[in-house]
Chains A and B, each alone.
Chain A
Amino acid sequence: MKLLDVKSGKKVCIVGFEGSRGVELKLRQLGLLPGDTAKVIRHAPLGGPILIECKGRRIALGRGIAVQILVEEV
């Protein structure tokens, strides 16, 4: 499933990325790697970004980015 579809409060495991390489590189540099677990903290309303926590770091991702991240619920 896509990270965007994960409900707030759920924990997921990052499986991979689909989409542009520039985006993938930036996510990897921020420490989001396949195999990592991340927790969805909240979805901003009205099509806003989602906030996740991964390795103690809080990262805001726009919806356009969040649909490119493939995850599995754990």
Chain B
Amino acid sequence: MRFALIGQPNCGKSTLFNHVAGYKAETGNFAGTTVTYTESKILVSGEKIDLVDLPGTYSLSGMNPAEKVTLQYLTSREVSVIINVVDASHLAQGLGLTVELLEMQKPLVVALNMMDEAAREGMTIDIPELQSLLGTPVVPLIASKGRGVRNLFVTAHYVAKQDNPPKRLTYAKDLEEVILEIAGNLDGKAAILEPEPFAIKLLEGDIQWQGQIHDEYPQLLPKLNHAQLMIEQTRGQSADWVISGERQALATNLASAVVLQGERRVSWRDRIDDILLHPVFGYVALVLIMFLFFEIVYGIGSILETPLLNIFSQLEVFLDNLFGADKLLGASLIGIVQGIAGGVAIVFPYLVPFLLGLGFLEDIGYLPRIAFLMDTLMKRIGLHGNAIVPFILGYGCNVPAVMSTRMLENRRDRFLAAALSTLVPCAARIAVVFGLVAFYLGPTVALAIYFFNLIVIAITGRILSGLLPEKTPGLILEMPVYRIPTFRTVIHKTWFRLHEFVVEAWPILIAGSLVLAILIYYNLDNNINTLVRPITWILGLPAAVGLPLIFGILRKELSLVMLYQALGGVDFSDVLTSVHLITYAVFVVFYIPCLATLAVLKRELGTRNMVIITLLTVVIAMIAAQIARLLATILL
């Protein structure tokens, strides 16, 4: 059996999914966090169920890639029951999708989520009435607190077993006549859809189906065109408009029939935007919040880094005494320990607080406010406020950042946002900047690198959008109500992101460190350093940093850990000058994205664009590092 979770963006599908399936999907108080589907196995009433979390979608029109994923999944896979998650506090809009799902004539359960939010809005919802109007079970839910979840899945299981799909709601008479006429020409064999829903999709002019019609029902195409023309003449609007208008009208009527609107409770959440979106205080707050955020991350990180590094350097001394660093075994073991140390002592102290902080900001709902405040600036670099999401996610990891560009409507915006977000220093590169620059030269210099990074991104954006002059459609973004993040989801989210580092990056870190130790043991490191020498020479860096830069393409953390190794595990400041440290850090921040990011760039934008972006980052890194070197020489 397969259950599919479907709902509009930010209605809490992923929160529900994570509640039952363990933390597997990204969540955030922001529309469009899920851009691909996530599957999991769960146990309901003693039966194994495949549960799939589909990306949030306002309709099934297939307008953007996230909507396409949902529509394609529904029409190409067997789904036993659809669980339609609806935000109860915005019932009229949410039911628009429900009406469309009813058309599909598949077993359906409506989960009315965020009942607490609705109560706060002063809404009382007559659930039995809604149930009888829709002809399908409606279950109240507060997914964030886990209330009603059990009841929902037991109901869904029952509905799936019954396999008695609800009837769709009827539209205006003229429209119904056309739908039935077209459906009469279909036999239900061509698609997984029944004739009537198929007829509706065809009338809406869905391109995906037009080709199929052309092949299998050649006589239908002229009839279809005629029907669309008829609707357009009588209604004065194209058929797809008429149909979506009908759906919305039905949804609005349903909502007004079941909702009793009482007094709205005014709370801190209504007042807070007066400050956070204020033309002056909003930006002051933004700078303060970001400053505080990085101060806390750096503060926690630097307290933990030194004692942790000490433990590992004592372990190295111990291994040296036991096996001898000049022997292959001793050198290899020390290499492994240094790899482990890189993860524990350098990356973790910064990564964990950063991810906790990011998770908190996401769940509270602050990110869309940043999009609002930054829209003007984003427009200057040829994008709009929505594109801030990949940038912010980029500070955690570039992989989800590139994936989140799917929520942008046109291809040009997606390319631009993806290219620019790979220039955003991810948590791994943050570790490099903190571990090197902040640790040796102080947090102010690290902060200066961040500002420098923003300037470089802005200039690159300007140049690229000049080369791709197409106009971006503009910002349309809902400001979700502020929600107090639950401890559980923030912890889970942090673990979810950290998990990727522990299982994928860390082994590579340790293996890379071991390989490096062996290379040094056999004196092969010099050959590689010579190969990369042209680049390190132009940057005015010692030849020994060549190898860490190459390894940095595997994982960005390696360019710090390997540096530690390549320089013989000594204090960096003995070998590298302040100018060296800054030049190196700036180069690492911009050059070639890591393997995982390259892979996702290829998947999202194609090989050609991936290569273009890679070359672009090398050019930018060379120029930016030279400028930083010049500035550092003058200022320090």
Cα A42 to Cα B279 in complex, Å, equals: 9
- Cβ A60 vs Cβ B475 within 8 A: yes
* Residue in B8, B409, B474 whose beta carbon sits within 8 Å of that of A65 in the complex: B474
- Cβ A49 vs Cβ B58 within 8 A: no
Within 8 A of A (CB), among B430-473: 471-473
- Cβ B476 vs Cβ A23 within 8 A: yes
* Residue in A28, A46, A56, A64 whose beta carbon sits within 8 Å of that of B244 in the complex: A28
Cα A33 to Cα B251 in complex, Å, equals: 12
Task: List residues of chain A with CB within 8 A of the CB of B409.
Answer: 22
Instruction: Say how far B503's CB is from chain A's closest CB, in angstroms.
Output: 38
Q: At the interface, yes or no: A2 with Cβ under 8 Å from chain B? A: no
- Cβ B384 vs Cβ A62 within 8 A: yes
- Cβ A42 vs Cβ B277 within 8 A: yes
Instruction: Say how far B474's CB is from chain A's closest CB, in angstroms.
Output: 3
Cα A29 to Cα B98 in complex, Å, equals: 12
Task: List residues of chain A with CB within 8 A of the CB of B476.
Answer: 23, 26-27, 30, 59-62, 65
A contact residues, total (Cβ < 8 Å): 30
Task: List residues of chain B with CB within 8 A of the CB of A26.
Answer: 58, 63, 476
Cα A45 to Cα B281 in complex, Å, equals: 12
- Cβ B371 vs Cβ A60 within 8 A: yes
- Cβ A59 vs Cβ B89 within 8 A: no
Cα A42 to Cα B474 in complex, Å, equals: 17
- Cβ A60 vs Cβ B90 within 8 A: no
Task: List residues of chain B with CB within 8 A of the CB of A33.
Answer: 248, 252
Task: List residues of chain B with CB within 8 A of the CB of A23.
Answer: 473-474, 476
- Cβ B479 vs Cβ A58 within 8 A: yes
Instruction: Say how far A54's CB is from chain B's closest CB, in angstroms.
Output: 10
Give the dominant DSSP class at A's interface. mixed
User: Given contacts A26-B58, A30-B58, A51-B372, is CB(A60)–CB(B477) below 8 Å?
Assistant: yes
Q: At the interface, yes or no: B385 with Cβ under 8 Å from chain A? A: yes
* Residue in B93, B96, B376, B473 whose beta carbon sits within 8 Å of that of A57 in the complex: B93
- Cβ B93 vs Cβ A61 within 8 A: no
- Cβ B479 vs Cβ A60 within 8 A: yes
* Residue in B90, B273, B475 whose beta carbon sits within 8 Å of that of A61 in the complex: B475
- Cβ A49 vs Cβ B89 within 8 A: no
* Residue in A31, A55, A62 whose beta carbon sits within 8 Å of that of B375 in the complex: A62
Instruction: Say how far A51's CB is from chain B's closest CB, in angstroms.
Output: 6
Cα A31 to Cα B475 in complex, Å, equals: 16
Cα A35 to Cα B82 in complex, Å, equals: 32
- Cβ B93 vs Cβ A48 within 8 A: no
Instruction: Say how far A64's CB is from chain B's closest CB, in angstroms.
Output: 4
Encoded as 1 (CB less than 8 Å from any A CB) or 0, chain B from 349 to 381 comes to 000000000000000000010011101100100
Q: At the interface, yes or no: A1 with Cβ under 8 Å from chain B? A: no
Cα A27 to Cα B478 in complex, Å, equals: 10
Cα A34 to Cα B61 in complex, Å, equals: 21
- Cβ A49 vs Cβ B96 within 8 A: no
Cα A29 to Cα B371 in complex, Å, equals: 20
Encoded as 1 (CB less than 8 Å from any B CB) or 0, chain A from 50 to 74 comes to 0100011111111111000000000
Task: List residues of chain A with CB within 8 A of the CB of B529.
Answer: none
The chain B residue sitting closest to A23, CB to CB, is B473
- Cβ A20 vs Cβ B473 within 8 A: yes
Instruction: Say how far B156's CB is from chain A's closest CB, in angstroms.
Output: 25
Cα A57 to Cα B248 in complex, Å, equals: 16
Instruction: Say how far B241's CB is from chain A's closest CB, in angstroms.
Output: 8
Task: List residues of chain A with CB within 8 A of the CB of B96.
Answer: 29
In the A-B complex, the 10 residue pairs with the smallest Cβ-Cβ separation, listed nearest first, are A62-B474, A62-B475, A29-B58, A64-B474, A31-B93, A58-B479, A45-B279, A48-B376, A65-B474, A49-B375
Name B residues whose Cβ lies closer than 8 Å to a Cβ of A.
Answer: 8, 58-59, 61, 63, 89-90, 92-93, 96, 121, 244-245, 248, 252, 264, 273, 277, 279, 368, 371-373, 375-376, 379, 384-385, 409, 471-479
29 contacts between A and B (CB under 8 A): A22-B473, A23-B473, A23-B476, A25-B59, A25-B63, A26-B58, A27-B476, A29-B96, A30-B58, A30-B93, A31-B92, A42-B279, A44-B277, A47-B376, A48-B372, A48-B373, A48-B376, A51-B479, A56-B89, A57-B93, A57-B478, A60-B475, A61-B474, A61-B475, A62-B379, A62-B384, A62-B385, A62-B475, A64-B473
Name A residues whose Cβ lies closer than 8 Å to a Cβ of B.
Answer: 20, 22-23, 25-31, 33, 42, 44-49, 51, 55-65
Given known contacts A22-B409, A29-B59, what 20 new A-B pairs fall within 8 Å (CB)?
A22-B63, A26-B58, A26-B63, A29-B58, A30-B93, A44-B279, A44-B375, A44-B376, A49-B385, A55-B90, A55-B92, A58-B478, A59-B477, A60-B371, A60-B372, A60-B375, A62-B385, A64-B471, A64-B472, A64-B474
